[in-house]
Amino acid sequence: GAVVSQHPSWVICKSGTSVKIECRSLDFQATTMFWYRQFPKQSLMLMATSNEGSKATYEQGVEKDKFLINHASLTLSTLTVTSAHPEDSSFYICSASPHFESGANVLTFGAGSRLTVL
Amino acid sequence: GQNIDQPTEMTATEGAIVQINCTYQTSGFNGLFWYQQHAGEAPTFLSYNVLDGLEEKGRFSSFLSRSKGYSYLLLKELQMKDSASYLCAVKDSNYQLIWGAGTKLIIKP
């Protein structure tokens, strides 16, 4: 089955620093990857859709200059949280699927990255 | 607007059966998914329905009625490890996944 690897699984950083999270599709090519954020006891919130070779599509209310997404290859997307603040502390999860536009194809999630900003 | 409704929390007893309902109103329909998410972990896929009817997979079954905009996830022979949140998601006409808020299932001995 499809495998998505996400790194790091957890990170603690100081306020004002930047943090990069990597998401890799290990056994398939993903032209599209999705970045979610989840606060404690809340549901998944889609932040942005990462498109290989083009700009990401951000959801309403998500600052594109703060959450930089790069999808430079068919197997790697990165999310950089710039100038992180304590309110950015959250669980960030990436996901992907081969041929996502096909209805039956299942979205596979990475293990998630728990960010704590001090 | 697009909306998916599911109960916030349910409690059941080990060994019993529980049904988690999901109703949806979306722009088009390209399938409904159920995911399981344990606390602090990423969601894992449970089931997919695109046609009306029941899909059975071991202790878990999922039902869909497109005319009613309704699905349920049925969990049988509940085990303590089934304590988790269960997320209902629908792919709309643009193949965007619309997520429900999740149902937290608590299993008691």
Question: How many other CB atoms are found less than 10 A from the CB of residue A60?
Answer: 4
Asked if the C-beta of B11 comes within 8 angstroms of chain A's C-beta atoms, the answer is no
**Residue A72 belongs to what H/E stretch?**
strand A67-73
- pLDDT of A98: 74
- pLDDT of A52: 85
CB contact under 8 A, A44 and B44: no
| Residues 6+ away with beta carbon under 8 Å from A9 | A111, A112, A113, A114
Question: How many other CB atoms are found less than 10 A from the CB of residue B41?
Answer: 15
CA angle A83, A65, B42 (to 5 degrees): 75
- pLDDT, mean over chain B: 95
Given a contact cutoff of 8 angstroms between Cβ atoms, the answer to whether B54 and B34 are in contact is no
Give the pLDDT mean for B93-99: 87
Give the pLDDT mean for B84-100: 91
- pLDDT of B22: 98
Among candidates B50, B99, B101 on the partner chain, residue whose Cβ is nearest the Cβ of A104: B50
Asked if the C-beta of B42 comes within 8 angstroms of chain A's C-beta atoms, the answer is yes
Among candidates A43, A100, A103 on the partner chain, residue whose Cβ is nearest the Cβ of B100: A43
Given a contact cutoff of 8 angstroms between Cβ atoms, the answer to whether B24 and B71 are in contact is yes
| Count of pairs with CB atoms under 8 A, one residue in A, one in B | 42
Q: What is the DSSP letter of B96?
A: P
Report residue B85's pLDDT band, with 50, 70 and 90 as the boundaries.
very high
- pLDDT of A103: 58
- pLDDT of A99: 67
pLDDT tens string, chain A, 118 residues long: the values are 788 999 999 999 999 999 999 999 998 888 889 999 998 878 889 999 998 888 899 999 999 999 999 998 889 999 999 999 999 999 999 999 876 666 567 888 999 999 999 9
